[in-house]
Structure 1
């Protein structure tokens, strides 16, 4: 029998209405009762999957989640960060400089919060915060500190602008960061080492 099952959320567990299918939910709960360790994996922050963790009975001490496309692994009950591949301040500045030079709409995340450096918050940013069920704050770039543990920077724009931004990526940026275009309207920048397999191993060892 499998000891650990790591499951992606969006496009796998959820239907088009962003809801868990009842049959899938019951199968996961039953697997957990049989001793299989279930780890949800997502590009979202923990706050964006807490609802699903509750529905799947995965909010106990010893339950884990992999968030930000592998950028962070947390214990779900305590929200304790077990491993984080946070972007360093010079890296945040480099990504911001590139995005701002291309008139991109920037958001960024710590473990449970979403931020934007833009005083005039774009509607698409508000819509995404609502979809992710994550608190959104205005915080200028100069107020970001090393203690914030920035796990991900995400650009939100219409698909045409996103494609233009992708075309503008330099080889240096592509080589330095893990860059993900998971849906047509976003582009995500993460630490290069934030790969999910390593964090599955980290979860399995706890």
Structure 2
């Protein structure tokens, strides 16, 4: 019997236009009405995750930044795990050497040197999944974050790192040059204490090794007296693997890479076809 459902956002619960469908919303509400805990587990910052969830009228706890931050359904911070400050310069030096653009995640704000970088990352994710990305809708979503101040463009990261280097949750690197990205990944993997994952072929998600979705989901389940055997994890990419491997019931989206599908107990339809809603409905039936 499923007691907790952990759901990824991009490529999973979010449609290509970054909204939550009515079917996905209703499935979550139905699960909650049966006493099942539903948590969003995303690589996004809390401020990025909150917008589509709030617009859908849902109230859930959040595992953000791949597990670097956990918040309750009211947005109150429960736990925070930052990258060790002494590792920041090592990371940025590797990314700079390979000309990989990156973003810094501090508190609820994402800092970028190029406002087009997050847009290109989302477009790349959609195309990788074989979808035609609604560019203008994604751009509107990004500009909404800019207006709210949760996405900020700055000329240089130097002062920010000097002043707040101990507050960085995640560094997100993107590149269309796969050999350079692979070279950077291999170099980063040599730094002890880091978790290197990705939410798509064209990016790197860098966090503290203790900041992973699977670790955060397991801690959340334990705090509620739940076994991981009774947890369902739904996702579409490599940064979801840590929770898929720990959960008793794992579901890959239809748009997930074959390696992710092979690691899961079930495969649902794509994020453009209400895959999350269908997966949840399937486990609710026996519990009615």
Written as runs of structure 1 = structure 2, the 5 A alignment for 1:6-155 is: 6-54=6-54, 55-58=56-59, 63-77=60-74, 79-116=75-112, 118=113, 121=114, 123-125=116-118, 131=141, 133=145, 134-138=150-154, 140-144=157-161, 145-146=163-164, 149-155=167-173
User: SS at the partner of 2:189?
Assistant: helix
Count residues with an aligned counterpart.
196
Tell me how far 1:148 sits from its aligned partner. 5.7
- Report the TM-score when normalising by structure 2: 0.60
In structure 2, what is the Cα distance between the partners aligned to 1:70 and 1:149?
15
Tell me how far 1:86 sits from its aligned partner. 0.5
- Are the aligned partners of 1:110 and 1:148 in contact in 2 as well (CA < 8 Å)? no
Higher relative contact order (CA 8 A, sep 6+): 2
Tell me how far 1:167 sits from its aligned partner. 2.3
In structure 2, the residue matched to 1:180 is: 197
Give the root-mean-square deviation of aligned CA atoms. Answer: 2.6
- Are the aligned partners of 1:64 and 1:74 in contact in 2 as well (CA < 8 Å)? yes
Unaligned runs of 5+ in 2: 123-138, 225-288
Unaligned runs of 5+ in 1: none
Tell me how far 1:125 sits from its aligned partner. 4.1
Tell me how far 1:152 sits from its aligned partner. 0.5
In structure 1, what is the Cα distance between the partners aligned to 2:183 and 2:121?
23
Written as runs of structure 1 = structure 2, the 5 A alignment for 1:156-195 is: 156-157=174-175, 159-160=176-177, 162-170=178-186, 173-174=189-190, 176=192, 177-195=194-212
In structure 2, what is the Cα distance between the partners aligned to 1:27 and 1:126?
29
Tell me how far 1:128 sits from its aligned partner. 5.6
- Report the TM-score when normalising by structure 1: 0.81
